Structure 1
Amino acid sequence: MDEFTAVPVREMNLLWRNRRTADAHRTGEGKQTSKARPIVIAVKGRGVSGEDWVLAIEFLYANRKLAYARPVDPSNPDGPSPLIPAEARQIRVVHIPPFSGLETEEPFRDPGMRDRLIGQGRPGEIVRNLLWDLWRQADEKPWMALVKDIEDLFGYTLLPPIYSATRQAYIVCEYRPRTKGDAPAPKLDIASAGSGFHQVLLLLAFFYVQPATILLLDEPDAHLHFILQREVFGRLRAVASQRRCQLIVATHAEALLDDTEPTGILSFFKKPHRLQTRRQVQDLRSALHRLSSTDLLRADHVGGALSGRRFRRPTTARGPVCSDIPQCAFSSSLTSLRWVGPVNWGKPSDIFRR
């Protein structure tokens, strides 16, 4: 289970819904037996030549510490394992979990321990290790690019990290803040800076240290100011374009929605679907701004309506006009929302259009 670094689970069966790894059923002779319930994850892609490819992996539960994985043909899951597509072999995926706090003293850690900390949701405990790796690279361009990014975004001068296995047990990473006048700025440990700086430093360090064809960012905007969100992701997009790297970002940040083409936004309300128009982006942005997660869960799972002050509901011969969340329009005069319980209009997850 140690190889599942991005899924911090105590036992393997926690990956299965309701921890059910097998289904019980009776044979024709009346004997009770069980059949494994596999998890199948399929990834679709398009190669540089324009040809589409599919890679599906089947996971079978073995015991609390072990699960078997093998490639499968989605059209024939019980058949022999197919070959992995050549295009899929060339993909390198790097996952960056949400930021966690920095340690005051960070020792040097080998790659295995770093992967484990990432899987445990503790990437903040390897920031100095990432900076040390970047500084030691033969090509100094990535380090100089990081220094320039930090200077442009925060006005800080990032100093080369210091570490010696024989003389000190911890990696020292410092910066100089911007000061007025000619007096030299003091050296400060990176732990002295704010959480926004830590978040950006982690993002950029991962980005420059671990070259990837696909970079997965999980809530990277959690500690960033609204204006800084635009600047950071604009920079990430530029560097990703130069490196031909695809960014996949899980976020609730409205600034990212505004700066992204509609076809680059995937909404996960009800069934995952790609947006098509700027109006849909505006409606989704409004939904994120006005509705709480509780409102959305109740509408999706219980069936009901959200009503608000000065909320006008048009009717037709078939009843109220409804739409799903990513496409619903919200009145600019709507000042409050309240849950009014289950209704029988439309589908359970429908919400009134104004």
Structure 2
Amino acid sequence: MATWQFCKTLLEIEKGRLSWTRGATNQGLGLGIVDFTPMFIPSLSHLWTNLKSQKQTESDGYTLKIKLYWDDKSGNEKHLEMGLSLANDRLFIKNTASNLSITEIQNADGSPNNENIPQIAYLPPFAGITDREVRMSPAMRNRLIGQGLSGGVIRNSLYDIHLSNHLKRQKLKGTGDRISTKNLNELRSRDAWEILQKTLFDIFSLKIEVTPFNEQYHSYLKIECVSGVANGYQFTKHKNFNARDIMVEGSGFLQWLSVYTLALSEEFNVILLDEPDAHLHTQLQKNLTERLEEITIRNGKQVLLATHSTELIRAYEPYKILALSNAKGKYLGSDDDKIGLLMA
């Protein structure tokens, strides 16, 4: 699914959204391995089983196809298939099947409409944080995540939602010096940064502080934590407590923070999480999944997580658990099915 999202985004950038639609006849778009970011592989041939990228059964030469189905806002089934072909160490991608129309993915004024198509983000277990994280382009962040180094982009992710919040607050203030109570309450209920900070108050008694970034003389992002006491939205830090860089807060906190920050992002409506319970003790696992469920309900997102956690398997209803075995998936039908799954 992350590879499908990469192909979809690249087609949009290079050929426009018409390249997603039914009947699009654009030629394939080529790229080398240096530009392929969804996963970390030694060569592009590793996308194919047994490295066999050529098949006789595919008339168009596109021998790897990823087809995603989903329901739009009206409950209609939609699909978009991405075909991939390898020739002379270059990967070619194109839309090989679709039932999308331009009116479903683009507004009348030509602006993008993302309500009827998945915007997917993938996050591996937390790893790779450094003490100096530079401001990165989206492509560079995607490359690090594809390499399993989600820790290398955590400050960028936090900075993005903080900057968005700052701009929203400026707009709400207008020419005044404060935001009206009504607008402030609305902001706090919907904005990613506001929700993140309040959640950190409640669960960790921590607050994130972001130093404004000026590309003219700053070379890395400075994001720190302070410890204190929260009373609603009011946070008072402990006396004589010095702010510390987030990397010293521990792997469990950072895992929790990276997952929750991504889930809150307004850019994506489908979140893929690989082992989000890694580094988390039982209570934090429960807290995280409860908060993720709140996000899905409030923001209409879908979260898919892969896990081996017995605690999470016990906590979820059987119909929400897809058990994978021998390359086949099956939703559980009852609590009794959990027993076999936990014993496997």
CA distance in 2, matches of 1:68, 1:234: 38
Give the match for residue 330 of structure 2.
273
Give the match for residue 327 of structure 1.
none
CA distance in 2, matches of 1:23, 1:215: 33
Instruction: Give 1:45-60 correspondences, 5 Å limit.
Output: 45-60=70-85
Give the match for residue 258 of structure 1.
314
The equivalent position to 2:300 in structure 1, one of 244, 252, 259, is 244
Judge which range, 248-257 or 209-218, deviates more. 209-218
Give the match for residue 147 of structure 2.
120
SS in 1 for 2:161: helix
Deviation at 1:50, TM superposition (A): 2.5
CA distance in 1, matches of 2:245, 2:63: 48
Deviation at 1:243, TM superposition (A): 0.4
More helix by percentage: 2
CA distance in 2, matches of 1:54, 1:11: 29
Instruction: Give 1:11-160 correspondences, 5 Å limit.
Output: 11-23=43-55, 38-72=63-97, 82-84=98-100, 86=104, 90-137=117-164, 138-139=167-168, 141-160=191-210
Native 8 Å contact 2:55 2:63 kept in 1: no
Deviation at 1:45, TM superposition (A): 1.9
SS in 2 for 1:107: coil
SS in 2 for 1:177: strand
1:272/1:105 CA distance change after superposition, 3 Å: same
| Pairing 1:6–2:38 present | yes
RMSD: 2.6
CA distance in 1, matches of 2:51, 2:74: 41
SS in 2 for 1:69: strand
CA distance in 2, matches of 1:58, 1:182: 56
SS in 1 for 2:280: coil
Q: Pick 1 or 2: higher relative contact order, CA cutoff 8 A, min separation 6.
A: 2
Deviation at 1:37, TM superposition (A): 7.2
What's the CA shift string for 1:140-161, capped at 9, x where partnerless?
A: 6321211111122212122233
CA distance in 1, matches of 2:219, 2:79: 46
Deviation at 1:36, TM superposition (A): 5.0
Q: Give TM-score scaled by structure 1 length.
A: 0.69
Structure 1 segments unaligned to the other structure (5+ residues) = 26-33, 73-81, 288-354
1:165/1:11 CA distance change after superposition, 3 Å: same
SS in 1 for 2:319: helix
1:239/1:83 CA distance change after superposition, 3 Å: closer
SS in 1 for 2:121: strand
CA distance in 2, matches of 1:48, 1:163: 38
1:156/1:66 CA distance change after superposition, 3 Å: same
Larger radius of gyration: 1
Native 8 Å contact 2:228 2:238 kept in 1: no
Deviation at 1:23, TM superposition (A): 4.4
Q: Which amino acid aligns with 2:100?
A: I
1:90/1:53 CA distance change after superposition, 3 Å: closer
Deviation at 1:90, TM superposition (A): 2.4
Q: Name the % identity.
A: 27
SS in 1 for 2:65: strand
1:255/1:139 CA distance change after superposition, 3 Å: farther
SS in 2 for 1:112: helix
Structure 2 segments unaligned to the other structure (5+ residues) = 1-32, 106-113, 170-190, 230-235
| Pairing 1:205–2:230 present | no
Deviation at 1:48, TM superposition (A): 2.7
Q: Give TM-score scaled by structure 2 length.
A: 0.71
Native 8 Å contact 1:71 1:83 kept in 2: no
What's the CA shift string for 1:276-315, capped at 9, x where partnerless?
A: 111112321233xxxxxxxxxxxxxxxxxxxxxxxxxxxx
Native 8 Å contact 2:37 2:139 kept in 1: no
